[in-house]
């Protein structure tokens, strides 16, 4: 089974992906992975993101290239071995962040068309104000309102994709234990 976790920064994806992984691995083969990956392209993306002026198109192409490695070298082989694969972010993130950066949605969909689809995608939905408070220490130096508007736009795209793909929308403002139970019952 392939499970992806999506949503804006600070929505709680990483926390819940880790909890699910820790639970599932007690009874089955399971891996926890994330995008950008820790491979060469993923590390390069992380470097670019840290810089202030980035080219949105180049970054999203790099995300897709990173995903090509991720799916071919890790996700697909692990699924073949019977592992449950949990990914913290996947292709929805390219579409949501790319569109919020001003890129054409059709093109973003096109460059992601060929990637394997998860069996379950959890889309974490939370108000950007809440998410930003949670990650305040991480987002030092960003201009508050610019970032807020950007996250509002990103959230909108995630919600649209969730509807279109029939994903599980998780109310990320609930407490960690409540969300954990909700996710476990869906996966089971």
Restricting to residues 4-63, name those near ligand ADP by CB under 6 A. Answer: 7, 9-15
The pair phi, psi for residue 71, each rounded to 5°, is -70, -45
Listed ranges 49-57, 71-79, 159-167, 174-182: which one lies at the site for ligand ADP (CB under 6 A): 174-182
| Cβ proximity to ligand ADP, 86 vs 111, nearer residue | 86
6 vs 66, which CB is nearer to ligand ADP?
A: 6
What DSSP designation does 153 have?
A: H
Q: What is the DSSP letter of 73?
A: I
Half-sphere exposure for 143 (CA within 13 Å, toward CB): 5
Q: Strand, coil or helix: what is 55?
A: coil
What are residue 30's DSSP bridge partners? 84
For residue 146, state whether it binds ligand ADP (rule: CB under 6 A).
Answer: no
Instruction: Round to whole Å and give the CA distance between 92 and 90.
Output: 6
Size of interface with ligand ADP, in residues (CB under 6 A)? 15
Instruction: Give the distance from CA 28 to its chain's centroid.
Output: 23
**Which region, judged by CB under 6 A, interacts with ligand ADP, from 38-46, 65-73, 144-152, 172-180?**
172-180
Determine which helix (DSSP H) or strand (DSSP E) holds 86, and give its type and residue range.
strand 84-88
Least distance to ligand ADP from the beta carbon of 133, Å? Answer: 9
Strand-pair partners of 120:
3
Give the one residue of 85, 111, 132, 179 binding ligand ADP; rule: CB under 6 A: 179
Q: Report, in Å, the least distance between residue 114 CB and ligand ADP.
A: 26
- The verdict on 139 binding ligand ADP (CB under 6 A) reads no
- The residue among 37, 40, 41 whose CA lies nearest residue 65 is 41
For the CB of residue 14, give the shortest distance to ligand ADP in the complex, in Å.
3
Near ligand ADP by CB under 6 A: residue from 135, 142, 144, 163: 135
Residues at the site binding ligand ADP, with contacts judged by CB under 6 A = 7, 9-15, 134-135, 172, 174-176, 179
């Amino acid at each position: 089974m392939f499970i992806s976790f999506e949503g804006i920064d600070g929505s709680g994806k990483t926390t819940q992906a880790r909890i699910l992984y820790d639970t599932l691995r007690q009874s089955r083969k399971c891996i926890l992975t994330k995008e950008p990956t820790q491979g060469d392209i993923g590390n390069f993306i992380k470097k670019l993101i840290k810089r202030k002026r980035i080219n949105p198109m180049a970054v999203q192409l790099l995300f897709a290239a990173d995903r090509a490695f991720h799916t071919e070298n890790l996700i697909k082989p692990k699924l073949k071995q019977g592992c449950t694969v949990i990914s913290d972010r996947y292709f929805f993130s390219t579409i949501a962040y790319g569109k919020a950066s001003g890129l054409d949605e059709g093109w973003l969909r096109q460059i992601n068309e060929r990637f394997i689809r998860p069996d379950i995608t959890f889309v974490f939905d939370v108000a950007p104000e809440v998410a930003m408070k949670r990650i305040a220490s991480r987002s030092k130096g960003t201009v508050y309102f610019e970032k807020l508007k950007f996250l509002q736009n990103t959230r909108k795209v995630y919600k649209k994709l969730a509807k279109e793909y029939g994903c599980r929308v998780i109310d990320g403002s609930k407490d960690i234990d409540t969300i954990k139970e909700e996710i476990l019952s869906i996966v089971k």
